[in-house]
């Protein structure tokens, strides 16, 4: 009687382990495809991505900005939060954060238009802030 439950438990562990490995492999392949693309592809993707409306926080981690594009009203401050890897935020209007691995940095957007940004340490990391009137 005790052999059957032990077999079920082992099969369950194998299934969970297998699912975890498949998930990790899929994430690695997606990351590799994003990383292996050209910088021009990364800039194009950031400039055409749909902007997340009303979102005023961007997370930096695993060589991506999430979300890659935000849309905010004039006068809004956007905060970038680090999740354990060194990055910076360099706005195309000349402002820049320090290079850091944790913490946050905030920039206020008082002029209507689009402000692109990037990480100077990771050339494929690009994003944008769409500022609406």
Question: What is the domain partition of the chain in residue ranges?
Answer: 1-36, 39-132
Beta-sheet strands, E only, within 47-109: 52-53, 57-61, 64-66, 69-73, 76-87, 90-91, 100-109
Q: Which CATH number fits domain 39-132: 2.130.10.10, 2.30.40.10, 3.10.180.10, 2.60.40.420?
A: 2.60.40.420
What's the confidence (pLDDT) of residue 60?
94
Instruction: Please give the span between the terminal C-alpha atoms of the chain, in angstroms, as a whole number.
Output: 72
**pLDDT of residue 8 exceeding 80:** no
C-alpha dist (Å) from residue 12 to 4, 7, 16, 24? 12, 9, 6, 18
How do residues 25-72 score in pLDDT, each as one tens digit?
Answer: 333 334 444 445 688 888 888 888 899 999 999 999 888 999 999 999
pLDDT band at 3 (very low <50, low <70, confident <90, very high): low
pTM, full prediction: 0.69
């Amino acid at each position: 009687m005790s052999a059957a439950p032990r077999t079920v438990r082992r099969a369950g562990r194998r299934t969970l382990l297998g699912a975890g490995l498949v998930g990790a492999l899929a994430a690695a392949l997606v990351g590799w495809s994003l990383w292996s693309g050209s910088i021009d592809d990364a800039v194009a993707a950031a400039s055409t991505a749909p902007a997340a409306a009303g979102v005023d926080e961007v997370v930096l981690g695993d060589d991506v900005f999430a979300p890659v594009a935000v849309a905010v009203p004039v006068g809004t401050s956007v905060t970038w939060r680090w999740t354990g890897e060194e990055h910076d935020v360099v706005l195309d209007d000349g402002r820049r954060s320090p290079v850091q691995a944790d913490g946050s940095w905030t920039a206020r957007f008082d002029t209507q238009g689009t402000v692109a940004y990037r990480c100077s340490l990771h050339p494929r990391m690009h994003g944008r802030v769409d500022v609406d009137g």
